[in-house]
Amino acid sequence: MSVLGADFRRDFEIRRYPFLVYGLVPLTALVLQAWLPRLLGPYAWFDLPLVVTVYFALGRRSPIQGTLMGAAMGLFEDALSHHAIGVNGIAKTMAGFLAASVGVRIDVENFTIRLMFIFVLSLLSSAIYVFVYRVLLGLDLDWGWFMALLTALGNSAIALVMFPLLDRLQLQD
């Protein structure tokens, strides 16, 4: 675990990517999230937009950027569904903000911490989704926490592979 202070590490470890990466990676995540369930059927236990949101939030270490990225990804997911637009948006906005805020203070280079972090954020995102749907909107929602748990595990597994791959795309000074 690093002993550097938060502000120093933030200035030192902010990652930068080519401009295209900010557009193509989220778009690829959205397209794959919409397309892969056709192949995998009921076994599509992952949320690629959430993984990408958390990755960029952790890498950029900017809560505002994490918030905006989460909101955009969530709204796109909502727009592709037939549910109200904004439910996933709120959930992923919170996830992006929290990822960036916490990423400033802990060492997210450690793989174990990364996996635990994405696991917890996945469950938190699901909880916010259910809260907004049932409490804020007052709508009926059949929800299974087992599926949410599987999705969180799937996100952790994907992050294990995807984060090192995305790390290769960052700009080197």
Partner 1 sequence: MDSFFTRYRNLLVLLAILLAQIVGLAVQVRRTGAGSNTLDPRDEPGVRLIRLWANALVSPPERLIHSSKLGAGYLWQNYLDLRHVREQNRDLQQTIDRLRLEQAALLEDARQGQRLQGLLDFQQKYIYKTVAAQAIGTSGSDQSRVFYIDKGADYKLDRDMAVITADGIVGKVRDVFPHTAQVLAIDDPTSGAGVILETTRIRGILRGNGAGQPQIVDLLADPRIQPGERVLTAGGDLVFPRGMPVGVVEKVVRDPERDSFIDVIVTPAAHLDRIDEVLVITSTQPRFSPQQQQDLATSEALKGSEAAAIKEQKKASEVMAERLPGLTDPKLPPDQQPLLDNSNPNPVAHPPQALHPDRFTPGAASGPAPATVPDSSAASKPEAGSKPSQQKPGQEKETTPDSGTTRPVPKTTPRPASSPGRQTTPRQAQPQQTQPQKDEPRRNP
CB 101 → partner 1: shortest distance, Å? 7
CB 112 → partner 1: shortest distance, Å? 27
Indicate which single residue of 4, 14, 113, 141 sits in contact with partner 1 (rule: CB under 8 A): 141
Task: Return the number of the residue (43 or 111) whose C-beta is nearest partner 1.
Answer: 43
Is the Cβ–Cβ distance between 150 and 86 less than 8 Å? Answer: no
Q: Is 88 in the site for partner 1 (CB under 8 A)?
A: yes
Pick the piece of the chain touching partner 1 (CB under 8 A) from 7-15, 94-102, 108-116, 156-164. Answer: 94-102
Pick the piece of the chain touching partner 1 (CB under 8 A) from 4-12, 51-59, 75-83, 105-113. Answer: 75-83
| Side chain identity, residue 12 | F
> Three-class SS of residue 10?
helix
| Side chain identity, residue 84 | A
Q: Give 70-129 as a DSSP string.
A: HHHHHHHHHHHSSS-TTHHHHHHHHHHHHHHHHHHHS---SHHHHHHHHHHHHHHHHHHH
Q: Is 37 in the site for partner 1 (CB under 8 A)?
A: yes
Q: Is 58 in the site for partner 1 (CB under 8 A)?
A: no
Q: Is 31 in the site for partner 1 (CB under 8 A)?
A: yes
Closest-CA residue to 132 (of 76, 84, 71): 84
CB 7 → partner 1: shortest distance, Å? 14
